A = this chain, B = another copy of it.
Amino acid sequence: MLDYTEQIDFYLKRLFPICRSITGEGNRETLRILQEIIPLIIKEYPTGQQVYDWTIPKEWNIKDAWIKNSRGEKIVDFKCSNLHVVSYSVSVHKTVQIDELKPHLHFLEHLPEAIPYRTSYYKEDWGFCLSYNDYQCYFNDGDIYEVFIDSELKNGSLTVGELLIEGKSKKEYLISTYICHPSLANDNLSGVIMTAFLGKELQEIKNNFSYRIIFVPETIGAIAYCANNEKIMKKIKTGFVVSCVGGPGKYGYKQSFNKEHWVNRFIEQTFHENRIQYRTYPFDIHGSDERQYASPGFRMNTPSICKDKYYEYEFYHTSLDNLNFINAETINDTLDFYLQIMEKLDKNLTYEKRIPECEVMLSRQGLYPKEGGGLIPGETTTNELDTLLWLLFYCDGRTSLFEISEILHEPMNRIYELAFTLEEKKILVRTEPE
């Protein structure tokens, strides 16, 4: 893999200031910039479309917003941070008493320097977020303030980005990340950028499987994508939800709903191979878009590899989750880790013997190294031959190479190499079990 640190850094800086939400121009701009990295197809789902139990909301765009004190000074200014405005705030322009304003102000007493991140997607309302320090400094009982939000809620559309990388097999894995958060760095600008470069690398590989990479606003976007691509999505069984991959803390992974699913063992094995200590988070009904993909109608296994995981770090959903909190190099490391997993996953084929009955005549293939007379263990057999024979024994068209490597306690790469050699020699043929 190339070292993408510099490019990641470039895009972090470029994408961080854009005001993203579940709809709006900020999302489109973000996706257009990502098109510089990968050939994303941008799709629009119109306002009002019924997507399962949900309706695609009006499109929200915002031009400006501020609060002025009685001296006409801007004490809160959207231009300084798009977190200052509660996402989906409606337009407002009036002079209000402090008492009327207070319910519309959001701050965190326990984190006095941080602007919290708040949304009001499905209830028409308006509000400002600010640091507790600013609140104490600028807001006084009895004062009068001028509030101004110049936003628009109109019939428009919800925007998603999609890249399908087709492999030899039509069997798809899903890679999903969410683009709806405004200026928050770890959650989830890190994931958005990493996913773009993951897609770039996956395009370079001659893939065995196909990869569906989607950039959607969280929840409503994932739901809209599922509803508009139901048949395809119901065929997908496994994938990843990319989220929070650039923080300073420990690696961790959130297991998919079926904790016995091989994809979880896959991740753990790769952590071990890289000698990375990690935390395991069991599946939870809170979280990101695995909530949709794991629902009864799909039951997809989509774990997330995080650093640091949402909910788990102090600066989560505040203005302190900014470019100082994360690190392009860290994102590059996680990208490398994800890529290792994808590469192994891409090789996790299922084979059966071209002739399932009886043994293969290995000597004809130059694979049986010696004259006959039987094997005396420790003397004339070899580990290579043993592994090869066991591999052939287990290739029944249903058991995957990863499962065989687990049964044989052999490294996956060794099993993969052997299997590919046997495929070249037309001893093994690929199968596509359900």
Contact = CB atoms under 8 A, between A and B. Distances in A.
A389 interface: yes
A230 B396 CA distance: 18
Chain A binding surface SS class: loop
Interface string A338-356: 0000000000000011011
A286 B375 contact: yes
A142 interface: no
B356 A295 contact: yes
Interface stretch (A71-79, A269-277, A366-374): A366-374
Contact of A117 (B373, B386, B396): B373
Contacts of A357: 52, 226-227, 230, 292, 295-298
A367 to B, nearest CB: 12
Given A295-B357, A357-B52, A285 B393 contact: yes
Nearest to A294: B393
A331 interface: no
A361 B393 CA distance: 50
B311 A377 contact: yes
A161 to B, nearest CB: 19
Interface stretch (A11-19, A119-127, A168-176, A415-423): A119-127
Given A358-B292, A371-B123, A393-B294, A286 B381 contact: yes
A307 interface: no
A242 to B, nearest CB: 17
B119 A373 contact: yes
A316 interface: yes
A28 interface: no
- Interface centre among A116, A122, A294, by most chain B C-beta atoms within 10 angstroms, is A122
A317 interface: yes
Contacts of A390: 285
A358 B116 contact: no
A49 to B, nearest CB: 14
Contact of A397 (B257, B296, B361, B373): B296
B353 A296 contact: yes
Contact of A296 (B317, B372, B395): B395
Given A316-B376, A364-B122, A296 B219 contact: no
A291 interface: yes
B121 A372 contact: yes
A60 to B, nearest CB: 13
Contact of A389 (B223, B285, B364): B285
Given A53-B358, A357-B226, A296 B396 contact: yes
Interface of A: 51-54, 86-87, 116-123, 125, 219, 222-223, 226-227, 230, 257, 285-286, 291-292, 294-298, 310-311, 316-317, 352-353, 355-361, 363-364, 371-377, 381, 386, 389-390, 392-393, 395-397
Given A52-B358, A117-B373, A125-B371, 18 more contacts: A52-B355, A53-B355, A53-B360, A54-B361, A118-B373, A123-B363, A227-B358, A257-B393, A285-B389, A285-B392, A286-B375, A291-B359, A295-B353, A296-B356, A296-B393, A297-B355, A297-B358, A298-B358
The 6 A-B pairs of least Cβ separation, nearest first, read A297-B357, A297-B356, A119-B372, A285-B389, A296-B396, A292-B358
